[in-house]
Each structure stands twice: as structure tokens, then as C-alpha cells.
Amino acid sequence: MRRLALALLTGVAVATLGACARRAPVDHAALRAAVGGDTVVLLSATWCGYCSKLRADLDRWGVRYREYDVENSPEGVRAAGVLRSPGVPVLLVGERRFVGYVPNQIHQSLSEAGLLPASAH
């Protein structure tokens, strides 16, 4: 009986962790309604060090983007509500979404989308 209970608890724990790891589906139309049609959008917060790093990368790469603060701008607050994201930075590149500071993945996506100036490749 004890083994059965332990097996059930383990199964519940694994299922719960798996559910937490999956990203909830995002209503892309609602997200774009919140932030507009800019191809590259950065959702950030003033206190976020990784947001500052990503902003510096985008500037260094010569990428045009629009930025919204998820705490202080109406658009950023609405976008954060739609995303239900666990944190910032969040970068939208067209239909793609990057959560956190992942510069190599972002650079590759920007390059594939033709959004990097020739000097930034």
C-alpha cells in the first residue's frame, strides 16, 4: 500500500512539473493589439538587468525595435497580462517569442528574419 501511495504521489509531482514547464498558449492577436505591429518588440522593466543587457545587444546589432515597460506603460501592462509571462525580458520577433536573456537564439532569429544590418552578422 505504501509503494502504491508513493508511486501515485510521484506521478502527480511529475505531471505537475510538466504542466508548469509548458508555456500557456498565447492569443497572438491580443498580444499584437496590445503592442502594435512593430516587428521587434521588447517588453522590459526598469529594474531588470537582463533587459538592459538585451537592449544594449539590440542597439549594438543595429536592430530597430519598440520597447514597452511592463509596469509603467499601458501597452506593456496589457501585453504582460496577455502573456502571463513569468518575467522579463520578453522579445517578440514577428511571431516568435523569446523569454529571458538568450542573445544567441535572438541574434540567430533576427538574422534569419533579415532584421540585422549587414555589419551585425
- The whole-number pLDDT of residue 85 equals 82
- The whole-number pLDDT of residue 121 equals 62
Cell of 109: 532569429
Q: Which residues of the chain have pLDDT under 50?
A: 4-21
- The whole-number pLDDT of residue 24 equals 65
Cell of 101: 536573456
Burial class, 44, CB count within 10 angstroms (exposed 0-12 / middle 13-18 / buried 19+): buried
Residues 6+ away with beta carbon under 8 Å from 71: 45, 46, 77
- The whole-number pLDDT of residue 119 equals 73
Where on the phi/psi map is residue 79: left (φ > 0), alpha (ψ -120 to 50), or beta?
Answer: alpha
Fold of 25-120: Glutaredoxin (3.40.30)
Q: Considering only CA atoms, which of 82, 89, 7, 104 is closest in space to residue 41?
A: 89
Listed by start position, the domains of the chain span: 25-120
